[in-house]
Amino acid sequence: MTCFFSKGSFLVILLLAICLVSEAQQCRPSGRIRGKKPPPGQCNREDDSDCCKAGKMYPTYTCSPPMSDKTQAYLTLNSFEAGGDGGGPSECDGKYHNDNTPVVALSTGWYNGGSRCLNNIRINGNGRSVVAKVVDECDSTEGCDADHDYQPPCPNNIVDASKAVWKALGVSEDNWGGLDITWTDA
């Protein structure tokens, strides 16, 4: 049996296949959380961290954008020390980490249930590169509660980094807080 496709039907099939693949690669919100006003003194504002706003809806994610050789992400600043804005000890090892050590927390999808725990990643930004250890999750599925320091859920494309990472990338301290980067497993 011979099958014949016209050029038009072939193009339609090709376009449908491309749309299905691109749809599968997108990471869409998995839900929403309604913000609650933090009790007085319960949201740590160190490193300009956001506090949840009462009634505001925050998207949650169980996924992160697909990985590649140069995964695009947004670098944020976090303290991994006791009393810092990172909250409790790191999930990977149950310890706090000195901010002068290059460590990071990854959004939930990239953290992948801890599969990257204590592994190194290479971060490229500001024309430089640094290797950092994954020690925690930046939770994209929950937030606005005591366990999350009354901060909103983490966006799905975050590499939350210690001061040591920012220093190694040569970013001036007055510009710390947000930077477009790429990263990959090291």
Note the pLDDT of residue 92.
97
Note the pLDDT of residue 1.
45
Note the pLDDT of residue 132.
98
Locate all alpha helices (DSSP H) within 29-180, ordered by sequence. Answer: 108-111, 163-168
Low-confidence ranges of the chain (pLDDT < 50): 1, 3-6, 8-24
**31-37+44-185: CATH architecture:** Beta Barrel (2.40)
Structure tokens at 76: 């944020």
Note the pLDDT of residue 45.
65
Cα separation, 45 vs 31, in Å, equals: 25
The pTM of this model reads 0.82
Domain positions in the chain are 31-37+44-185
